[in-house]
Structure 1
Amino acid sequence: MFLNSIKHGLVVLMTLGTLLLCASAQAASTGGFGTTTGGDSYTSTTVTTLAQLKAAVSAGSHHIIIKGHIYGGSTLTTLTFASTKWNNTTITGASGGSAILENIQLKFDGEQLTKGTNIENIKISNITFYGNIGDLQALPTQIKGSSNTVGINYEGISLRRISNAVITHCTIYDTSDDLMSVTLSSNYVTISYNHFYFTSNWVNMSPDPVWNWVGEYTDLAGERLAMVIGANSSDSYVATGTLHVTLHHNWFGPNMRGRPLFRGWVHLYSNYFDNSNGPTGTKTAKDGNSYPMQQYEALQVNSGSTVVSESNYFYKTNYSNKISHSSSDYEYQFYERNNVYNQTTGSSATGNSFQSSPVSYSYTVTSAANVPNIVQAQAGPK
């Protein structure tokens, strides 16, 4: 039996079959949550420029193929998909792995829909996303709650109130917020064979601007965050019963300072957490203050989550598994088996062991010892 949630002191025990009874119908050939075909069956529209990409979105194309390098402009471009008319949508790169979206965010956002209604069946694949460092440096000081928030909201991919989504074979790096997020009761999401990292140019950017993301100022070079699943304690698995997410065969790093942060029901297997180029010491930013550069976590288990971690490889990570409590009284559950921790530093939480798989979908684990070579060879666009 799995202890799957504790809320307001109430302990709920569920059998493995009951735990994911709702998920059983969502089992996917992708090795994770979400039976997702996207808009593959629709007639495709191939775009090579920003104008063509915007026109395809305005026309409601459900199958968009990105070909070549598209630049979103110095003040960034967010393409927002905010209604159920976007159900069954595919955005993919042309074969060959050369599709690039620079300064462009794909934001699937069902926040304004009727409660209980999500945008469904979304597939994003085979694209490289990144931010232009010079453009981000040139923005005025970004302050949450002000009129200057362009960079604060800038990710590669944002999923908000989305059900049945697959993000696969993408590369995302050098964005000024998290590289991607899955929030606001999104559900049945599979994230596989992606590469999330920051460049050395990002780490060493000069000047190093200081922005205010969440009520306090910090330097842009230090905002090297991979991913968040669940926006806050009220947007957690325990609070909502949603946020079922699978992560497998992803490459996190190098130069990652923190996260992924989990508030959902997350199954992660055969991922490579790579801190091989982990910066150390401090960096002096534009305001004259010094900010720490060292990784402060590789994986964060937060209040309201259930996290099942298996056959992952942690290399030189600092504080590999970190437990973080919010102000809510929601408890977390953390389980693990067959992970490898190689030359890791700092204290790290140890998950409870388990024998039977807690998920009802079929999946194939890569032995943790083989994860670095296989994931580095296979992650990202092809």
Structure 2
Amino acid sequence: MKTKLRMVQASLLAALSLGGFACSAADTGGFSNTTGGDSYTAVTVTNLSQLESAVSSGQHHIIVSGTIYGGAGLTTLTFSSASNNNTTIEGAAGGKAVLENIQLKFDGELLASGTNIQNIKVSNLTFFGKISDLQAMPQQVYGSSDSTKKVGINYEGISLRRVTNALITHCAIYDTSDDLMSVALSSDNVTLSYNHLYFSDSWVNMSPDPVWNWVGYNTDLAGERLAMVVGANTSDSWQGTGKLHVTLHHNWIGPNVRGRPLFRGWIHAYSNYFDNSETYSGTDYNTATDGNKYPKQQYEALQLVNGSVVYSESNYFLKTNNTNTLTNDGSSYTDAFYEKNNTYSGTTGTSATGTTFSSPVSYSYSVTASASVPAYVMANAGPK
């Protein structure tokens, strides 16, 4: 049975009707004024040393060719200076550029208050974690204990922290030990388009299945299959900051995603395919649950938390469980959920129903009819 949408105050509704943000360029859906460093001379890299050198020397247009391995201990490449404004990192044509055990972290936290890293573009890349390396890190393996093992590393494919005007497009991200990606800390004007976010069957069925303590209690790595988070905490929300405007369109989320996207931002999500086509047997491990076990099935697709506003249109939800979940985090912020023309096919559990809306934005965009979304998105999402 569907739950009733919690209504927000009249003042909030008036603010929402303004659309929140605008785009001045031609129709690409979302923030088409994000160009990154496309106009700069490109530097092509084929190994980790070259990639690290390109980043540390402040190159603005980096092309990745082939597979680059970040090592068994993983590598985080951090962009934390205003000199990193106007940067593009992209894969070479053909869709075969891969960053294995490598996280791109765009992090403006150390900049002056009110200043973000600007104009970032990441495209045409595959990111993934090597399962055997991750298995070798944690302190414990389910059913046993080994104090000689190193502490596991929580990392994502792409992390945007205090970044304004970013475009992540035609990327594939899978099998990372935290969320696959995040948009947080007052980041703003972000477009996520034509990406494929998922976990492999090998991840779901990994053996041994390590136990990681990354949220204050032990939980098995195979069970932490989380797609994305927008907003890091209660104060880092659209209502709390006036930021976190994010457009998601034509992304393929799944299969094997257990939960999320989690939204604390101002979200326009259209023509995305939420694919929960895989079925599971057995349980996962979690010391915060009764009996230390919980079912492997997906627990939610979209999670809306206080401080968020979500416009969901022309999306396709296949066999998702508890599809639209409204989560009260105990803060004074409210949430608002709007939807139209979505397709829910074989969905289960409890799901919130949104209020119908007219176009929430001033930028131009073109939806794909929800019935056509799975075929279209699967054919077009990911690196090319």
1:113 Cα deviation after fit:
1.1
Change (3 A) 1:327 1:15: closer
Does 2:374 match 1:372?
yes
1:285 shift after superposition:
8.6
Cα pair distance change 1:149/1:155, threshold 3 Å: farther
- Per the TM alignment, residue 345 of structure 1 is displaced from its structure 2 partner at its CA by 0.6
**Residue of structure 1 in register with 2:90 after alignment:** 92
Q: CA deviation at 1:82?
A: 0.3
1:110-133 CA distance string (max 9 Å, x none): 011111100000000000000000
Residue in structure 2 matched with residue 348 of structure 1 by the alignment: 351
Does structure 1 retain, via aligned residues, the 8 Å contact 2:187–2:243?
yes
Q: How does 1:296-375 map to 2 (within 5 A)?
A: 296-354=299-357, 356-375=358-377
For the residues of structure 2 that align with 1:34 and 1:222, how far apart are their CA atoms? Answer: 36
2:47 equivalent in structure 1: 49
> Contact 1:26–1:188 (CA<8 Å) still a contact in 2?
no
Match of 1:241 in 2: 242
Task: Tell me the CA shift for residue 373 of structure 1.
Answer: 0.1
1:14 is paired with a residue whose SS is helix
Which residue number in structure 1 is paired with residue 263 of structure 2? Answer: 262
C-alpha spacing 1:215/1:369, structure 2 compared with 1 (3 Å): same
Aligned to 2:192: 191
Q: Does the C-alpha gap of structure 1 residues 117 and 278 become closer, same or farther in structure 2, counting only changes over 3 Å? A: farther
Residues 34 and 165 in structure 1, CA contact (< 8 A), matched pair in contact too: no
CA contact (8 A) 1:34 1:189 kept: no
Deviation by residue 1:285-344 (Cα, 9 ceiling, x = unmatched) = 99x953431100011111100000000000011111111111211110000000000001
2:25 and 2:183 mapped to 1: Cα distance?
Answer: 19
Per the alignment, in what secondary structure is the counterpart of residue 12 of structure 2?
strand
RMSD: 2.2
Conserved 8 A contact 1:99-1:128: yes
- Say whether the 8 Å CA contact 1:254–1:278 is kept in structure 2: no
Instruction: State the AA in 2 paired with 1:238.
Output: Q
SS of equivalent to 1:12: helix
Q: Supply the distance in 2 between the matched residues of 1:209 and 1:127 (Cα, whole angstroms).
A: 28
**CA 26–81 in structure 1, closer or farther in 2 if over 3 Å, else same:** farther
Q: 2:111 is paired with a residue of what secondary structure? A: coil
2 CA distance for matches of 1:309 and 1:149? 39
Q: Is the 8 A contact 2:250 2:270 kept in 1?
A: yes
Q: What is the correspondence of 1:1-382 to structure 2 with a 5 Å cutoff?
A: 11-14=11-14, 18-20=18-20, 23-25=21-23, 29-33=27-31, 35-141=33-139, 151-152=153-154, 154-283=155-284, 289-354=292-357, 356-382=358-384
1:24 is displaced (CA, Å) by: 2.0
Unaligned runs of 5+ in 2: 1-6, 141-148
Aligned position for 2:144: none
Aligned pair in 2 of structure 1 residues 111, 126: CA closer, same or farther (>3 Å)? Answer: same
Aligned length: 369
TM-score of the superposition, structure 2-length normalised? 0.92
* 1:157, distance to aligned residue in structure 2 (A): 0.2
CA distance in 2, matches of 1:233, 1:35: 29
Instruction: Report the AA paired with residue 219 of structure 2.
Output: T
Deviation, 1:213, is 1.2
